[in-house]
């Protein structure tokens, strides 16, 4: 009985660790620290009091929904890359910024990105 239980438990663990062949979109919901963006290696304040919802697609594209206390929400598209060596998420919004934004701080402790079945964790720097 113990051997059967061990085999079943092992099979369950292996099945639960299988990579997702179609990860779809991962959404991070929260407020970003808006003073933490580096643009052209210079820290810039992009606004205060804004709530942001970022949606990351597995094809390295995404959208961000901006909400302000006294204004209508609007959405912009971006592309993203994740540098594993530096544990850094880079976003590029071509309509607004000409170079990638390096996220150096988040208002949430962790963020998980799923890119074609690979799990990455963005930690607070």
| 81: in domain | yes
Residue 88 phi/psi, 5-degree rounding, is -120, 135
The 10s digit of each residue's pLDDT in 94-121 is 655 545 555 544 444 445 555 444 545 4
| 17: in domain | no
Q: In this structure, what CATH number is given to the domain that contains residue 63?
A: 2.40.128
What radius of gyration do the chain's Cα atoms show?
18
The 10s digit of each residue's pLDDT in 29-73 is 444 444 445 555 555 555 555 566 677 776 777 777 777 777 788
Domain that holds residue 88: 22-123
d(C-alpha 36, C-alpha 44), whole Å: 7
d(C-alpha 1, C-alpha 22), whole Å: 37
Residue 117 phi/psi, 5-degree rounding, is 90, -5
pTM over 0.85: no
| 42: in domain | yes
| 14: in domain | no
As for how many domains the chain has, the answer is 1
| 11: in domain | no
| 76: in domain | yes
| 47: in domain | yes
d(C-alpha 61, C-alpha 72), whole Å: 24
The 10s digit of each residue's pLDDT in 66-95 is 777 777 888 888 887 766 666 567 777 765
């Amino acid at each position: 009985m113990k051997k059967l239980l061990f085999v079943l438990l092992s099979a369950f663990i292996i099945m639960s660790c299988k990579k997702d062949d179609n990860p779809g979109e991962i959404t991070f919901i929260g407020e970003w620290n808006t003073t933490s963006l580096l643009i052209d290696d210079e820290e810039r304040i992009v606004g205060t009091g804004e709530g942001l919802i970022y949606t990351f697609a597995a094809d390295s594209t995404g959208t961000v929904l901006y909400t302000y206390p006294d204004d209508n929400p609007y959405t912009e598209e971006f592309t993203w890359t994740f540098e594993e060596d530096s544990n850094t998420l880079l976003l590029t919004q071509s309509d607004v910024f000409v170079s990638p934004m390096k996220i150096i701080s988040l208002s949430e402790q962790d963020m998980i990105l799923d890119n074609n079945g690979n799990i990455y964790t963005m930690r607070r720097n």
